[in-house]
Amino acid sequence: MTEYFQDRSAIFESERILKESYTPNDLPEREEQLKRLGLEVLSPVLNDAPPHNAFLYGKPGQGKTAAARFLLEKLQEEVDERSGINLTTIFQTCKGHHSSYQVACDLVEQLTGDNPNGHPKRKVFARLYDALQEISGIIVIVLDEVDNIGNKDMILYELPRARDNGHIEDMDVSVIGISNDMTFYDELDPRAKDSLCEVEIHFPPYDADQLRSILDRRSKKAFVNSAVTQEAVALAAALAAQDLGSARQAIRYLYKAGEFAALNDESQVAEEHVRKAEDHVEQMNIAQSIRDLTTQDQLALLALTSLATRNETPAPTPEVYSRYTDITSHVDTNSIAMRRVRSHLHDLDMIGVVSGAKRSGGSRGGPKYYWELNTDFDTTVNVLTEENRFTDVLDLIDRP
C-alpha cells in the first residue's frame, strides 16, 4: 500500500457497521416502542387492511428511524409469507425540505423516476396521486424528519385523507410521521393532528446503560475482536448520556476513536481515543452550528471573538456592541440596535457557542450580562472566514 492509504483492518472488522446508514437488526432498548408500533399501528396489514396513521417523536439519535425501518422490513417479510396482501412502503426523508411541495416532488421522483419540480403545486400533487393509484393495494408512506416542513403544512392532513377526498380510489395510503422536534407536535394544526396522530409513540432519551448495550452490540460486529476496550465503550456511552442521550452521538464517538487508534497504528481503542474523539466531534458540531447561523448572529460572534483575542472577555453587552459596530462599518451589512445584538447573543448562548453570565448591578439595578466565547477560538475564526466571508475584518482580530 502506498503512503496515501492505510490498512485499518487491525482495528475494524466491518467498518460499514459504524456508518449512519446501517440499520441494526435488533433494538432491544426500543422493545416497548416497537411493540406499540407493531400491535397498535401495523397489525391491520396482516389482515389486509391499511395500518393506522402514527406519529413517532423524540430527540435526535433515539432510534426512531432505525425502529421504523426495522419493523417495516419485518412486516414486509410477514406479508411475503402470506398471499393476497399487496403492501408497498415508501420511505421519504424531509430533511433539507421546507415545504410539502418539495416533499411531494421527491415522492413523485421515487415513484416514477421523474422529478416534477417547477410545476404548479396542484399538478405535482395530481401526479403524486396518479402514481400512488398505479401501485394499488396498501401503501405506507413514512415521512421522516417531518418537522422540517413546518407544522402549518397541509400534506400531513392531505395524504392520510387522500381517499376520503376522492384523490385515490379502491386503495389506502397510511402515513407514519417521524419528528425530532417535540414542539412540532404541540403546534400541529388540529386537523392534521386528527388525521395523522391516531397513535403517538414517544422515544425518550437513552440512559448510559442503554447506550452501553447499544455500543456493545455494534462494536462486537464492527471492531476486530478485543480491539476495543470495555472502558472505551463505557466512556463513549457515558459521555453521550451526559450530553444528549443520543445513540448516534455515542456511535460517532466510538467510530472516531477507532479512527484515531488506527491513525496512530495502535492495536486497541482506549479511553484516551474516546476523549479525543469526543472533542473532535463536538468541535465539528460547533463548526456546523456556526455555519448555520444568520449573518447578524455571525457578526455578533465575530465581535465577541475579537474581544476574546485581546483578553477583554467576559465583556458586557455595550462593549460587545461597540465592537460589533466597528465591524459592521467594515462589511457590507446593516448594523442593528444594541437590544437586538443582545438578543442575538442570547441565541448564541442557547446553542452553546457563547456563554453569558448574569451579574447584578446594571446601571438601572437590573442584571447585566457578561459574555464570553464558549468554543475553541481557532474553530470559530476558521469557520467565520470560510468562503472568504468577513476576511476584510479579519485584520481586526489579532490572533493570539
Query: How does DSSP assign 175-214, residue by residue?
Result: EEEEES-HHHHHTS-HHHHHHH-SEEEE-PPP-HHHHHHH
DSSP state at residue 15:
G
Which of 187, 232, 248, 228 shows the shortest CA–CA distance to 24? 248
206 annotated to a ligand binding site: yes
What does the angle CA 216 – CA 73 – CA 203 come to, to the nearest 5 degrees?
A: 55
Where in 174-213 is the site for ligand ADP (CB under 6 A)? none
Q: Does 313 bind Mg ion (CB under 5 A)?
A: no
- For 272, the grid coordinates are 484516551
Q: Does 24 bind ligand ADP (CB under 6 A)?
A: yes
Q: How many residues of this chain interact with Mg ion, rule: CB under 5 A?
A: 1
Q: Of 58 and 356, which has the nearer Cβ to Mg ion? A: 58
Among 11, 12, 17, 30, binds ligand ADP (CB under 6 A): 30
261-280 positions binding ligand ADP, by CB under 6 A: none
Select from 139, 247, 303, 348 the one that contacts ligand ADP (CB under 6 A).
Answer: 247
Asked whether position 147 contacts ligand ADP by CB under 6 A, the answer is no
- Binding of ligand ADP by 305 (CB under 6 A): no
Cα 104 from Cα 115, distance rounded (Å): 9
* β pairing state of 138-144 and 87-93: parallel
Q: Determine the angle formed by the axes of helices 338-350 and 295-309, rounding to 10 degrees.
A: 90
**Quick one: DSSP state of residue 55?**
E
Sequence-separated (6 or more) residues with CB below 8 Å from residue 301: 290, 293, 348, 353, 354, 380, 384
Question: What's the min distance (Å) between Cβ of 264 and ligand ADP?
Answer: 25
66 part of the interface to ligand ADP, by CB under 6 A: yes
Least Cβ distance, residue 379 to Mg ion (angstroms): 26
Q: Which three cell numbers stand for residue 308?
A: 476574546
Q: Does 101 belong to an annotated binding site?
A: no
Taking CB under 6 A as the binding criterion, the range among 56-64, 86-94, 255-263, 298-306 that sits at the site for ligand ADP is 56-64
**Binds ligand ADP (CB under 6 A): choice among 44, 60, 137, 150:** 60
Closest residue by Cα to residue 257 from 227, 298, 286: 227
Start-to-end C-alpha separation, the chain:
41
- Span 211-240, contacts to ligand ADP by CB under 6 A: 214
- 65 lies in the binding site for Mg ion (CB under 5 A): yes
- Helix, strand, coil shares of the chain as percentages rounded to 5? 55, 10, 35
* Of residues 7 and 20, the one with the C-beta less far from ligand ADP: 20
Binding flag, residue 148, ligand ADP (CB under 6 A): no
Q: Which is nearer to ligand ADP, 58 or 116 (CB)?
A: 58
Residue nearest to ligand ADP (CB): 63
Nearer to Mg ion, 65 or 317 (CB): 65
Please identify, using beta-carbon distances, which residue of 33 and 65 lies nearer to Mg ion. 65
For the segment 262-291, give every residue that binds Mg ion (CB under 5 A): none
Strands (E), the chain: 54-57, 87-93, 138-144, 172-179, 199-202, 315-316, 354-359, 368-373
Residues that bind ligand ADP (CB under 6 A): 20, 24, 27, 29-30, 58, 60-66, 214, 247-248, 251
Residues that bind Mg ion (CB under 5 A): 65
Q: Annotated binding site for ATP, which residues?
A: 206, 218
